Structure 1
Amino acid sequence: MSTTSRSDSRTATAPATHRAPADTPAGRTASIGVLLTGAVLATAAGFGSLWFVRVGLVLAVVAGALALGMAWRAAGRTLRRVREQHATQVLEQARAHGEELSSERADNLSVLDTLEGRLTAQRQHTEVLEHRVSTLRTQVKGLRREIATLLPEVSSLRGDKAALRDRLAEQDATVDDLRAELARREHELAALTDGEVLTLPRRGVPTAEQIWSDGNHPTVVDLRAVGAEPEPEQQRRQA
């Protein structure tokens, strides 16, 4: 395509202008001079005898014919010159128009080359975008499959979360109860620690002699009273 552009952009060389011989006033002057000379001679001959008159007429006719021929030749040269000038102008205009067309064609080819380059780049960019869209569609399909796989697990985790939340609420309630119980026990301990401690009399265990010395002589012995161990001091304080 660049070779065509170079061949179309060549400029035509203007040919040499062929000019006809200049239509100088000499031709017209000569024809007019011949015509006037013939007229003068014919007039002069008219004042003579009959033969002079005849010769004058012949000279007048010859001079007129000669002047007419010379005028015709001058007119022909002028017409040829005008035709040549017109043909030259038409040729020059045609060459100039051809050069303009060649230049315009070269510009159009350059624009077409530029547009073709842009179209090629656009096609490449479109192919890249299509490949990227295809890749993204594949990734979207994979993500959808992964989401479909994870949905049951998410539902299970949500159920576990609800169960753990209920269990946590129960544990919090248990902890609150234990804290309340601990506070109550600490309050009781503080009350027992800070309260007034009274010494209770010891209750002795009667001996066998004391049991038989009252005169009643019982036949039944309270074995619990005999075998009872002394009560600890701490239990008596709590009582």
Structure 2
Amino acid sequence: MGYKAFPARGVVFLLGVFIFSQQTIAGDLSYSVPEEMKRGSVFGNIVKDIGLDVSRLSARKPRIDADGNVKRYCEINPNNGDIVVADRIDREVLCGKKASCLLKQELVLEHPLELHRINVLVQDINDNSPQFKKNMIKFEIRESASKGSRYRLDEAYDADVGQNTVQDYNIDANENFNLNVVAKSGGGKYGELVLEKELDREHQQELTILLTATDGGSPQRTGTTVIHVTVLDANDNAPVFSQMLEKTDRSAVLFTKTYPLY
């Protein structure tokens, strides 16, 4: 009896049916965890969340594989199904300044093969303080500068996001300057020095003011820098003379002596 050729299309179909019967791709599991949780911290349980038989869990060899990540940040306790933190989760390293940070992992079960995607939304915590690029911001301002003059200050950077990033600035109380805080259209804030009282170099040649940036986290964190103002001279004083009148027999002679401004 001759063998009848089996259509290639039928082979592919049967192979697909076989593979599909051997594995099940289930829905996503979604969790939300704060960054920097301690290793071993529990944030889910696959027995409860999927409805597995805990008595058969160990035999199904549950594990979590990384999905496009270098590290495996989660792992399964095969005895009770707890999902625990396996490695330090640093939101700033994973997602930078993105508003949303999603960590993707994959749950694998065997006998039969079953896959579940695990999406972990990493919440930002206030673990970074505002920082300025420089320890000192320098200005040279003439004493003739008019009241209301504004001088933009460097913006502080905070690696955190949302409310945990920079929310306000303030300066030490002083006689000459107030602070105006400006919100940028694209996000972020910076400060401006506003001259409220004219400078007088003869009275004070330099000013040192502490600038503080504050975030909105809890606990609140701050960063500081120093504003150094050098007051430049303006020609605002006329020469001053002392006079000494000396009489002679023939006429009166006026002797003058000029003093420097300072």
TM-score (norm 2): 0.21
Give the greater-gyration-radius structure (CA). Answer: 1
More contact order relative to length (CA 8 Å, sep ≥ 6): 1
Higher share of residues assigned helix: 1
TM-score (norm 1): 0.23
